[in-house]
Chains A and B, each alone.
Chain A
Amino acid sequence: AQSVSQHNHHVILSEAASLELGCNYSYGGTVNLFWYVQYPGQHLQLLLKYFSGDPLVKGIKGFEAEFIKSKFSFNLRKPSVQWSDTAEYFCAVKKTGANNLFFGTGTRLTVIP
């Protein structure tokens, strides 16, 4: 079955710590990859996306993600988190040419000032 796994359910960090959130998927073939963020009480916003080309993708607010095809992974990173990064982060995967976007279960990030 197709699936998207986010193994970290809740991550707690102090400000200025480095962040890495894992995302693995189980589809074969070409995929499009996304990270969305949901701040408390708000709707999902696109952080970054990968379609093709350079596997290291830079997004908004200093986030980046690296697509490692051999590992079926698309981990999200930020070198130094801020309190304002407290939010829930969702990884999403879509087979190229398909219609369905599959989401992981989300990782809640809490940044302590």
Chain B
Amino acid sequence: EAQVTQNPRYLITVTGKKLTVTCSQNMNHEYMSWYRQDPGLGLRQIYYSMNVEVTDKGDVPEGYKVSRKEKRNFPLILESPSPNQTSLYFCASSLFGGTGRFPGTDTQYFGPGTRLTVL
């Protein structure tokens, strides 16, 4: 089954304790992205990756890191989490990113979400 998976689904941690949220897709997608969802703010993009070893900042990258060593995985790293990073996080992927030449290939498919609480 084609899907985007995230782990863990729920996480409660304390300020300053490094954590990693994993994201994996089995669709051979080149493009992957991380969003956070907060009430009244919708989804905001944190980081995205056009392909292996190619990553770039989204709208709210502060306090986050990512890596793309393999095509299928795109982990989100919080080196020193703070309470303002309490949020619902979604990973997404699409076949390609950005190109308008192949309509539909940049449609993003989302993972189930990770609810993070930082105390």
Contacts and interface: CB of A to CB of B under 8 A. Distances in A.
Interface in A82-113: 90, 92, 94, 96-106
B92 to A, nearest CB: 8
Contacts of A90: 42-43
B33 A101 contact: yes
B107 A99 contact: no
Contacts of A103: 35, 42-44
A14 interface: no
A105 B41 CA distance: 5
B48 A100 contact: yes
B99 A97 contact: yes
Given A43-B90, A43-B112, A46-B107, A104 B100 contact: no
A70 interface: no
Interface size class of B (residues with CB under 8 A): 20 to 34
Interface in B77-119: 90, 92, 97-100, 103-104, 106-113
Interface string A4-47: 10100000000000000000000000101010100000111110
Nearest to A42: B112
Contacts of B92: 44
Interface size class of A (residues with CB under 8 A): 20 to 34
Contacts of B108: 46, 101
Contact of B111 (A32, A43, A98): A43
B113 A94 contact: no
A42 B113 CA distance: 8
B76 interface: no
A30 B99 CA distance: 12
Contacts of A101: 33, 45, 108
Contacts of A99: 31, 48, 50, 56, 97-98
A43 B113 contact: yes
Interface of A: 4, 6, 30, 32, 34, 36, 42-46, 49, 51-52, 90, 92, 94, 96-106
